[in-house]
């Protein structure tokens, strides 16, 4: 009997590793090895024809910290995250409350909110280009009705990043809405009835009952929005290319530019390591804080 159990255990171990191996190979090739290789190349100098690469320790990082563009990009990305995360969460929540309520044309409203989610960021950027173009764009046309002067939204440092931020919010709010919608549908009807009997105002009901019950969803969305604030940069390629004078440049775009336009792989690697560190912190927060609240099976 024990020999049989032993055999079964060995069989499971062999099968387990066999079934895992294809995924393990690809994960190693495209996640684990590249992570280590990035760390490795971030501590070596950039090789040239005359000078081979050599170990430089933290020099690439020091160079990066001394690079004013790096700080502009970091500041931009913090502003980008700081605005897009709360605003898209707020809009998503309003959308969900409306789309869940008894309003007219609910089907149309839901579809309209969700539609940007299925569009590629590149297409979204093209659509918004029509809004932002100076002189011809829709925003300027509307402005001119009120006698406002033409504004080059994408071409001036004060507004370029904001124009980018608006496109991002437009793109992701509808996506976050559906998570709120699902959560709202799990709130029992009796709570609303009880609140009505007590004569609670709608605002109090929303603030004291609905919002606390939506807290786990909000955290889940916040983590997603944080990841998006690193990831969503495609529209920069169409709208501003990070300009004017780096005013709308974000970290991932800068990494791309470093690596594929300036061919400075060590700096790109150092920056990548920092991004991974930040994402790791987010992951840890989620692991210890969120997991307790969201229910896995």
Minimum CB distance to another protein, residue 53 (Å): 14
Cβ distance 115 to 99 under 8 Å?
Answer: no
Residue placing its CB nearer to another protein in the complex, 32 or 65: 32
CA distance 239 to 94: 28
Q: Is 74 in the site for another protein (CB under 8 A)?
A: no
Minimum CB distance to another protein, residue 70 (Å): 16
DSSP-assigned letters across all residues of 125-163: HHHHHHHHSTTTSHHHHHHHHTTPPP--TTTSHHHHHHH
Exactly one of 1, 118, 197, 261 binds another protein (CB under 8 A); that residue is: 118
Site for another protein in 192-211 (CB under 8 A): 202
Per DSSP, 249 falls in state -
3-class state of residue 44 by DSSP: strand
Q: Is 215 in the site for another protein (CB under 8 A)?
A: no
Site for another protein in 16-45 (CB under 8 A): 16-17, 19-20, 22-27, 29-35, 37-38, 41
119: left (phi over 0), alpha (psi -120 to 50) or beta: beta
Site for another protein in 259-278 (CB under 8 A): 259-260, 265, 268-269, 272, 275-276
Residue placing its CB nearer to another protein in the complex, 43 or 259: 259
Exactly one of 43, 56, 87, 283 binds another protein (CB under 8 A); that residue is: 283
Exactly one of 116, 214, 246, 249 binds another protein (CB under 8 A); that residue is: 116
Minimum CB distance to another protein, residue 36 (Å): 9
Per DSSP, 45 falls in state P
CA distance 283 to 277: 10
Exactly one of 179, 192, 200, 213 binds another protein (CB under 8 A); that residue is: 179
CA distance 55 to 42: 9
Residue placing its CB nearer to another protein in the complex, 76 or 272: 272
Could you tell me which of 40, 36, 77, 48 has the C-alpha nearest to residue 248?
A: 77
Minimum CB distance to another protein, residue 230 (Å): 7
Minimum CB distance to another protein, residue 107 (Å): 9
Cβ distance 79 to 71 under 8 Å?
Answer: no
Site for another protein in 147-166 (CB under 8 A): none
Q: Is 1 in the site for another protein (CB under 8 A)?
A: no
**How far from each other are the two terminal CA atoms of the chain, in whole angstroms?**
33
CA distance 178 to 193: 24
Q: Is 126 in the site for another protein (CB under 8 A)?
A: yes
Which span sits near another protein by CB under 8 A: 49-57, 65-73, 187-195, 232-240?
Answer: 232-240
Could you tell me which of 285, 249, 255 has the C-alpha nearest to residue 270?
A: 255
């Amino acid at each position: 009997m024990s020999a049989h159990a032993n055999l079964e255990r060995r069989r499971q171990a062999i099968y387990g590793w066999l079934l895992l191996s294809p995924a393990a190979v690809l994960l190693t090739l495209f996640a684990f090895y590249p992570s280590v290789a990035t760390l490795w190349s971030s501590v070596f100098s950039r090789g040239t024809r005359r000078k081979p690469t050599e170990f430089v320790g933290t020099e690439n990082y020091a160079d990066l910290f001394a690079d004013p563009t790096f700080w502009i990009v970091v500041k931009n990305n913090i502003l980008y995250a700081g605005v897009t995360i709360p605003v898209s969460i707020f809009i998503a929540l309003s959308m969900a409350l409306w789309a869940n309520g008894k309003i007219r044309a609910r089907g149309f409203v839901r579809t309209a909110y969700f539609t940007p989610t299925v569009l590629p960021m590149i297409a979204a950027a093209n659509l918004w280009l029509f809004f932002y173009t100076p002189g011809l764009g829709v925003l300027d046309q509307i402005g001119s009705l009120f006698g406002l002067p033409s504004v080059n939204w994408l071409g001036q440092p004060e507004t370029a990043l904001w124009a980018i931020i608006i496109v991002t919010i437009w793109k992701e709010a509808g996506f976050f809405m559906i998570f709120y919608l699902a959560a709202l549908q799990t709130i029992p009807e009796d709570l609303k009835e009880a609140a009505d009997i007590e004569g609670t105002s709608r605002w109090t009901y929303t603030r004291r009952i609905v919002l606390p019950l939506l807290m786990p969803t909000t955290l889940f969305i916040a983590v997603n929005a944080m990841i998006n604030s690193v990831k969503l940069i495609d529209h920069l390629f169409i709208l501003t290319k990070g300009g004017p004078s780096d005013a709308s440049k974000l970290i991932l775009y800068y990494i791309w530019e470093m690596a594929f336009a300036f061919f400075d792989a060590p700096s790109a690697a150092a920056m990548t390591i920092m991004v991974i560190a930040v994402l790791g912190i987010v992951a840890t927060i989620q692991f210890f804080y969120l997991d307790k609240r969201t229910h896995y099976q």
